[in-house]
Amino acid sequence: MGNDLDHVLLTEEQIHARLDELATEIWRDYHDKDVLLVGVLKGAILVMADLMRALPGSAPMDWMAVSSYGSGTKSSGVVRILKDLDTDISGRHVLIVEDIIDSGLTLNWIRANLTSREPASLEICTLLRKPEAAKVDIDCKYVGFDIPNEFVVGYGLDYDERYRNLRDIGTLAPHVYS
């Protein structure tokens, strides 16, 4: 599996250091607000796990699953809820926890959907963002890293459901796609 990676973009150490910083910022903003962390399955599982453990206090979490990419590397443009939240977020302070914002289409849809449920506030935390790929402008309060417009895997991010377990984040070698 090591040979399948072309190059490492972010190491586990860099990711953890940045998540520690973000957790400090988030707790500064939310320590008195009973924030609900909302993760988007499945990519955000490791971001959620490490971010919530880096928080100086404890916060509840909930999960949502939507379809966006299918098994390929291109956005289908169609978003569908596969698993909805267990929590009624009306009147709650909600922080969406995401792995990556690429075109922004998925998160734009999720944000509109959650906004219609009338939370007290709604903000976004994403580990990665690809500014060059943006098709819609997403106001994202907490961003781990801006990265180049390349398809990356590892740290929860998959290619056809594989590679989520890689500790670092990197690009796949061309032979993987053929």
In 31-104, which ranges are continuous DSSP H helix?
45-54
CA pair distance 115, 70, nearest whole angstrom = 25
Which residue's CB atom is positioned nearest to Mg ion?
43
Among 23, 101, 110, 127, binds ligand 5GP (CB under 6 A): 101
Of the residues 50, 102, 137, 146, which is catalytic? 102
String of DSSP letters for 56-74? SS---EEEEEEESSTTSSS
110 binds ligand 5GP (CB under 6 A): no
Q: Where are the alpha helices (DSSP H) in the chain?
A: 12-30, 45-54, 105-115
- Please say if 20 is a catalytic residue: no
Nearer to ligand 5GP, 22 or 106 (CB): 106
Do residues 142 and 22 make contact, with C-beta atoms less than 8 angstroms apart? Answer: yes
> Among 47, 51, 105, 110, which residue sits at the site for ligand 5GP (rule: CB under 6 A)?
105
* Residue 151 touches ligand 5GP, criterion: CB under 6 A: yes
Which one of the spans 58-66, 83-91, 97-105, 123-131 is the region binding Mg ion (CB under 5 A)?
A: 97-105
Residues within window 30-59 making contact with Mg ion, judged by CB under 5 A: 40, 43
Does residue 146 sit in helix, strand or coil? strand
> CB of residue 40 vs Mg ion: minimum separation in angstroms?
5
CB 173 within 8 A of CB 8: no
Binding of residue 50 to ligand 5GP (CB under 6 A): no
Q: How far is the CB of 66 from Mg ion (least distance, A)?
A: 8
Contact status, residue 81 vs residue 22, Cβ threshold 8 Å: no
Question: Could you say which DSSP state residue 6 is in?
Answer: E
Select the residue interacting with ligand 5GP from 9, 30, 37, 68 (CB under 6 A): 68
Q: Is 176 exposed, middle or buried (0-12, 13-18, 19+ CB in 10 A)?
A: middle
Active site positions, annotated: 102
**Contact residues for ligand 5GP, defined by CB under 6 A:** 43, 68-69, 75, 98-107, 151-153, 157-159
**Contact residues for Mg ion, defined by CB under 5 A:** 40, 43, 69, 99, 158
